[in-house]
Amino acid sequence: MSSLTRRQFLHGSAAGTAALGLPAFHRAPRRNEELRVAVVGLNQRGQAHVNGLHGLADVRVVALCDVDTRVLARSTQLFTDRGEEVDGCTDVRKLLERDDIDAVSLATPNHLHALHTIWACQAGKDVYVEKPVSHNIWEGRQALRAAERYGRIVQCGTQSRSSQGIAQGIAWLQAGHLGKITHAWGTCFKPRKSIGKVAGPQAVPEEVDWPRYCGPRGVLPLLREKLHYDWHWQFATGCGDLGNQGIHQMDLCRWGLGQQRLAPSVLSVGGRFGYDDDGDTPNTQLVYLDYQPAPLVFEVRGLPRNKAARESRNWAQTMDMRNEAAVGATIHAEGGYLLLPNYTSAHAFDNDRRRLQDFRGALDHFQNFVDAVRARDASLLASPLLEGHLSSALCHMGNDSYRLGAPAEPEVIDAACAEPPLLKETWERFRAHMHAHELDLEQDRATLGAALRVDPATEAYVDNDAANVLRRGTYVEGFEVPEEV
């Protein structure tokens, strides 16, 4: 692809589409026709995509893509060992030129999700995209506009949305069985150990196409020991655990509250405690999203429950819990609460913690995507892109607040979190967790994030230019998210 046609392609022009030989609207497969899918990004979640799609009737994974040729070779070999054919490539744009590919399944690092989704929609492909669907608020909305403009089916990888048990539980709660909903509380208490600390930029393995890996961020120095996965803990490519594991629980909280817009304001407090490493995302964080009349509180903890546990090897079995779940969501109401402790179930309790009702069961999230593609009906999607965008954006709001903050004395944070009572309670829990680790917040200060206001209609921050820079992100030539999709 020449630089001219690539630029045309990125901006979604009809001329660019024609220059690439791509149809403006890709032909949808008939019901009894094989659905041909390419998987992009092949580590961990990518392999789950391959396995999840490979096992579905009349679905064929025909191509694999990864910028690391070692990872690509390992994945293609699995097909060869089964006597199956699959193509491999290192440039997603080559896949999008092919008219024999109906859909792409994206499991790349977060900073590529929205851009690849937009490219795929412009190329006439349907998309399954991992969470979070974006790396900032604006590009998530741009991806949604692209899906709508090109009539594409786009599913977000928040698979709890395919749980009929959770859906039934939330519907039961919203029907008023426990009275008025008062607030939602999400937790991501998941063990995250140090990623190590390097003395300077590391050599990028020769098997990796580093410019394509960095994509919209531009060519960056590699400042971590482990190339793969640990990108989650650096803001240039990831979103911390708030946007990694936490988005699942954030999505459940927003779903339970019945909110279909961004919260009007946000405040975050956090830090990276317990070790000094190359991560710059917080491993301990609180986020207060001031939805009215019922706010949303979120907590992230990457350290176990106390210092003794931190000094042991067994972190996984020593994480804090809330309502018997380390990673979960709780929707509180006047007469009790609905606990969502996993991806497939919901449990209703009264205020005396007596279990009232259980809701269980889940369907296959990949199958749901395939069914919607075959029917050409986005309304069949369990987790359409709009839902993924809104929940991703809430995570970005929390991180934007944190990134614009500064380390503060605990008394200053006390004052900032004195009201409302729910925020005060969450900060007190934060302080107690630090005390359990014998961490002195006078010395190891937490970052008090900026208090940000949002216009839910425009999804822009109000009277804060620095926040709106984070909301929009920055892009290098050849990897721009287009203004007009």
Per-residue three-class SS string for 432-470:
HHHHHCCCCCCCCCCEECCCEEEECCCCEECCCHHHHHH
Q: What is the mean pLDDT of residues 285-294?
A: 98
3-159: CATH class = alpha beta
Mean pLDDT of 212-217: 97
pLDDT at position 22 over 50: no
436 burial level (CB within 10 Å; 0-12, 13-18, 19+): middle
Token duo for residue 333? 């109401």
pLDDT over 70 percentage in the chain: 93
Could you tell me if 242 and 399 are in contact, meaning their C-beta atoms sit under 8 angstroms apart?
yes
Of 410, 406, 407, 449, the C-alpha closest to 433 is 410
225-257: per-residue pLDDT in tens? 999 999 999 999 999 999 999 999 999 999 999
pLDDT above 90: residue 456: yes
Average pLDDT, the chain: 94
Strands 460-461 and 284-289: unpaired
What CATH number matches the domain at 161-362+385-467, 3.40.800.10, 2.30.30.230, 3.30.310.50, 3.30.360.10? 3.30.360.10
User: What stretch(es) of the chain map to CATH 3.30.360.10?
Assistant: 161-362+385-467
441 vs 182: CA distance, rounded Å? 31
pLDDT in tens, 412-431: 999 999 999 999 999 999 99
What pLDDT score was predicted for residue 8? 38
For 114-150, the pLDDT digits (tens) are 999 999 999 999 999 999 999 999 999 999 999 999 9
d(CA 247, CA 300): 11
Position 80 pLDDT exceeds 90: yes
Question: What is the model's pTM?
Answer: 0.94
* pLDDT, tens digit, 9 for 90 and up, residues 142-196: 999 999 999 999 999 999 999 999 999 999 999 999 999 999 999 999 999 999 9
pLDDT at 33: 83
Residue 263 has which token pair? 């919260």
**Residue 60 banded pLDDT, cuts 50, 70, 90:** very high
Nearest to 292 by CA among 468, 461, 462, 454: 454
In the chain, CATH 3.40.50.720 covers 3-159
- Any idea of the CA torsion for 370, 328, 294, 353, to the nearest 10 degrees? 130
